[in-house]
Structure 1
């Protein structure tokens, strides 16, 4: 029996370092996303603990009447501000190296491969515990593509975007929806980074 996952990237965040909240635009994006899910049967919502995701999850919960829990495995690969004194330029340089060298571990955070593995672990556990359910995961763009590069054949990703792996950091917009199903530990990609629900 398939468990269906809707991977929602958080809404647009305020600029700045650290665990920053949603911006006004991000709140509007989350509200539009919540309206999209209003008519669907959502069994539960699981969120990254970072504030921008947690706030998005609360907005989604108001329309879906689903309970929200947090799972640290949904945290981004790395977050600017986790390494004290790190400049934005240094953060971006480290991020891009992680994307190209999937086993490179940044000074603060996980390698791209390890990040993708922890999201896969989260989904596998949820699928085993809740077979047949529809679950919203509120997480981060980098983590979504790290996961997909790990579990979806490269040819399938290249069919979505010819330079998917190189361009992955630009492909998942705020409050976009990626749909993945899981059966017996095997993942299938149903839709990628859709923004058709956003105004």
Structure 2
């Protein structure tokens, strides 16, 4: 009785404020990621409502011949542009403070702790709702993935994946990387972390 989750960070996005699309290079990444899932028995695709995630999910859905649906619980901890007149430097400073202090609630968005709990409860809901042995693709954001991992696993467990995981977490999830989780009997197993092998072919 298990559920497999593939946590996919969206493809490379345009560097601009607001709800931005993916770039031409990001499209190639999304297409390569879609090919990675082509021969797998994917049952469901769920995406963040932000454009960069939805566009990435679109390519996966086309290749797997599935539809996807959006869920706001997959949004990022915070997005540049959510707070009017916030500069990029101010956004980065806010983000870094949230990462250092997981309980700090920023002027807009969630604390890292809240974000990690949000994804945790959503994955549990999916595991309870879908049949055993389901394979679910989650297209979301790098910060939310690491917020969840820090919330779910011990620091020692995470340091097996990368030394000083917690302190460098913001740099560990490349665009269109795939993290595979297996949920079984109330526990998560981290099968592989932030894999980009599919982007090298």
Pair in the same fold by TM > 0.5? yes
Counterpart in the other structure of 2:120: 120
Match of 1:10 in 2: 10
Question: 1:155: which partner in 2?
Answer: 156
* Correspondence list, 1:28-67, <5 A: 28-67=28-67
Cα distance per residue 1:44-89 (max 9 Å; x no partner): 1000000000010011001111220111110000100000000000
Q: Could you list the runs of 5+ residues in structure 1 that have no partner in the other structure?
A: none
**Superposition CA RMSD, Å:** 0.8
Residue 167 of structure 2 is matched in structure 1 by: 166
Which residue of structure 2 lines up, in the alignment, with residue 144 of structure 1? Answer: 145
Alignment size in residue pairs: 199
Distance in 2 of aligned mates of 1:179 and 1:151: 14
DSSP-derived class of the 1:121 partner:
helix
Unaligned runs of 5+ in 2: none
Matched residue, 1:182: 183
Q: Secondary structure at the match of 2:166?
A: helix
> TM-score, normalising length from structure 1?
0.98
Secondary structure, in 3 states, of the residue corresponding to 1:142?
helix
